[in-house]
Amino acid sequence: MTTGVRRRMGVEERRQQLIGVALELFSRRSPDEVSIDEIASAAGISRPLVYHYFPGKLSLYEAALQRASDDLAARFVEPREGPLGARLLRVMGRFFDFVDEHGPGFSALMRGGPAVGSSTTNALIDGVRQAAYVQILSHLDVREPPARLELVIRSWISLAESTALIWLDGRRIPRAELETQLVHDFAALAAVSAAYDEEMGALLRRILKDEPADGPFADLVGRLIALAS
């Protein structure tokens, strides 16, 4: 007969376990509602032991946000293959996967949660936005973006954030529709900018040249034509 022996974790392994447990709890409820006692219980350790690895709830929360922000930033990584519209649609699918899986955690990440206004939280959020911005530039094959293009991309990233936060409050619009709508929003923002700037016009023409007739950008054109007729 053998008896189970609990394996003693190393310091970093235990820290990572606690971060994972905290992130799981924060994904289901607002971090403000999750106590250190709950985290300790879910990890199978005592409350004092949690404080041995993290000075307080805020430091554990920030570590969980770091992992969540790294995961979220990775959702924007997409091979530069195929038309842009299809690539952006896949990115939005992975983005909403994250939002769907980590509802309260996503809200906390974007709004700051218990650490609202802290330099650490602001840096994490800005890091996600910058990673998304760099990825979109890569998809467009642009190294030195003109001012109007930067405005389009950063405005679109902010729109995706706010759309996801509103969607979480009741999920009243089908998720798939929002994913497609956000891809259409990118095209619309680019088109409006192109109407004012020839450099943006040339970029938009290059993008549309490679778009298939059944792609999301062509779908938007068809919907606008139907609306105007």
Quick one: tokens of 14?
Answer: 């235990």
The 10 Å Cβ neighbour count of residue 158 is 11
Q: Which long-range contacts (CB under 8 A, 24 or more apart) does 161-165 make?
A: 161/110, 164/95, 164/96, 164/99, 164/106, 164/110, 165/106, 165/107, 165/110, 165/111
pLDDT at residue 7, as a whole number: 59
pLDDT at 53: 92
If you average pLDDT over residues 86-115, what whole number do you get? 83
Is-contact 123 210, C-beta < 8 A? Answer: no
pLDDT tens digits, 111-166: 655 555 567 778 888 899 999 999 999 999 998 999 999 999 999 999 999 999 99
For the cut 90, the answer to whether the pLDDT of residue 103 exceeds it is: no
Reported as a single tens digit per residue, the pLDDT across 32-79 is 788 899 999 999 999 999 999 999 888 888 888 888 888 889 999 999
